[in-house]
Amino acid sequence: MPQAGERIGFRQALHDSLVVARRNLLRMMRIPEIVVFGLVQPIMFVVLFAYVFGGSINIPGAGLDADAYREFLMAGIFAQTVTFATAGASAGIAEDMQKGVIDRFRSLPMARGAVLTGRTIADLTQTLVTLIVLALVAFAVGWRIHDGVLNALAAFGLLLLLGYAFTWIGALIGLSVRSPEAATSGGLVWLFPLTFISIAFVPSENMPGWLQPVAEWNPFSATVLAARELFGNLPAGYEAPDSWPMQHPALASVLWSIVIILIFRSRAVRKYRGAAG
């Protein structure tokens, strides 16, 4: 066991992170409401958007085809689900701060970043479970995978990578506010414009001209389009916008996610260390 103040290596830091992740997963299992309510919202979005908006939104290459819209929609719902896990990360860390759990971790001879890394790993695991359930619901309303299992797994991998990146934004928010309630609000207020000013629910072609570049350079949009391509959910006549992220969505998705992780992980760990000092 390393002593306080001793430099901790990668293996020990990984071990510490997994211990913290296990602690958070056990806590989630003991409070099943966390998982249940996390599933209810995306399921409601699937049903409402599929049957309320299906047939009323024009999809390039498919027109007002309700079935085409359901397939077009699902990648957006998946992406929204993984990014909304940010609010849970924010609230969880803020609650630990408020209850003094973080202070107890600080007193232990463990890697400083392990507390945050463990929390984000636990949130990623919960998000994976949510995605599996949501995919089953999507199958029930008519969504299908057309380009093979490997491509579908790659699509889910991009979605989870984006979700993991966004949990680091949530971690920083959770460390920056004074209560779980404020963390929940702070974790959601910026997500709504991010997800809706994107190609998640409507094509960018349907937006005002000045808003289209904003939607197309949105990291959320790159992941959504990449997932649609990998799932085979784009209509045969669909043509992607000319902007670079829309022409190379998978690469853009990976780059956006890595940049977000690098920026917000370093800021969150610095915030944690500053508070510890």
d(CA 67, CA 48): 14
- Residue 274 near residue 172, CB atoms below 8 Å: no
Q: CB atoms < 10 A from the CB of 258, how many? A: 12
Exposed e or buried b per residue across 117-126, where buried means at least 16 C-beta atoms within 10 angstroms of its C-beta: bbbbbbbbbb
* 222-227 average pLDDT score: 96
Closest by alpha carbon to 166, among 100, 97, 218? 218
d(CA 220, CA 82): 11
- Residue 90 near residue 168, CB atoms below 8 Å: no
**Structure confidence at residue 4 as a pLDDT band (50, 70, 90):** very low
For the segment 88-147, what is each residue's pLDDT rounded down to a tens digit? 778 888 887 777 777 677 667 677 678 888 888 988 888 898 899 889 888 888 888 998
- What 8-state DSSP symbol labels residue 59? B
- DSSP letter string, 31-44: -HHHHHHHHHHHHH
Encoding tokens for residue 174? Answer: 């959770």
**Structure confidence at residue 8 as a pLDDT band (50, 70, 90):** low
The one-letter amino acid at 251: L
Q: Where are the alpha helices (DSSP H) in 108-248?
A: 114-140, 149-176, 180-189, 191-196, 212-216, 219-231, 244-247
CA angle in degrees (0–180, nearest 5) for 192-153-253 = 45
Only one residue has tokens 């808003």, namely: 211
**Structure confidence at residue 3 as a pLDDT band (50, 70, 90):** very low
- pLDDT value of position 198: 93
Cα–Cα distances in angstroms (integers) from residue 46 to residues 27, 51, 134, in the given order? 28, 8, 8
* pLDDT at residue 32 tops 80: no
Q: What are phi and psi of 95, to 5 degrees?
A: -65, -40
